[in-house]
Amino acid sequence: MRLARREWFLVRMRVQRLRDAVSHIETLTGTRPTAGRTHDAADDTVGTIATDSARGFDPFPLLATLQASGVHVIVIGQVAGIMHGSTELTGDLDLLWDADPSSAAALAAAFAAAGCSLWADDASDASTDPELLLRPKATFESARACGDCCTPSLPWGGVDLRAVLARSETATAPDGLEIRIPTLPDLIHMQRALGRPKDLRRAAELARLRDRP
């Protein structure tokens, strides 16, 4: 019983970690001069926290809308890292979904309801076509959150993204918000597979947390 209660507390803490990080990001970037770069031009070492996308970053409205849509979407990238305990901040929200064609319209509607524009990964014109979300990767952008929306067909250094989706965990906030994220081992594997300096650094941080007594 004691272990189960501790695990319940840790799950609840995941959402609070993200809320604390969003507050810290607002303090850090609120008066910072613009950099002239958005999340898609982020430095491979520093990451999106150094871009203008970090200004006003608040993924919670979009996450609530995605939950209401009922589509199988999980949060990946550094937002998931923060929820697992990483101390590094970020300025974008990366998502992975199961690419079920019957859910594409509902996912597109959720993005629209959250004020997000959808773009092809090649930065061509914005679109409201749900078919865009069935490509390996699309991007979304709003005043509060931007990032990539990926499908399991996106090459990821040999990582089985469908298995990552199947093993994902749910963090539940007291207000009922549910956020799905990869397991800690899967997230570390994903970061190592990407291999950029920021990913390897974050993977090492999470591995230390995983191995801590």
**pLDDT category of residue 10 using cuts at 50, 70 and 90:** low
**pLDDT category of residue 213 using cuts at 50, 70 and 90:** confident
**CA 135, 137, 141 angle in degrees (round to 5)?**
120
| pLDDT digit string, tens, across residues 184-211 | 999 999 999 999 999 999 999 999 999 9
- Residue 52 tokens, joined: 């203008």
**pLDDT tops 90 at residue 21:** yes
What values do phi and psi take at 171, rounded to 5? -100, 130
Regarding beta strands 146-150 and 94-97, do their DSSP bridges make them parallel or antiparallel, or are they unpaired?
A: parallel
DSSP string, 168-182: -EEEE-TTS-EEEE-
- Segments making up each domain of the chain, as ranges: 2-211
Whole-prediction pTM value? 0.92
Question: Across all residues in the chain, what is the average pLDDT?
Answer: 92
Spatial distance between the Cα atoms of 63 and 9, rounded to a whole number of angstroms: 21
Regarding beta strands 126-127 and 137-141, do their DSSP bridges make them parallel or antiparallel, or are they unpaired?
A: unpaired
Q: Which of 17-26, 119-128, 131-140, 156-165 has the lowest mean pLDDT?
A: 119-128
Contacts of 3 (CB under 8 A, 6+ apart): none
CATH of span 2-211: 3.30.460
For residue 105, what pLDDT is reported?
A: 96
**pLDDT tops 70 at residue 52:** yes
For residue 4, what pLDDT is reported?
A: 46
* Per-residue CA distances from 185 to 23, 192, 197 (Å): 27, 11, 19
* Residue with tokens 């613009």, as numbered in its chain: 34
| pLDDT digit string, tens, across residues 95-144 | 999 999 999 999 999 999 999 999 887 666 666 689 999 999 999 999 99
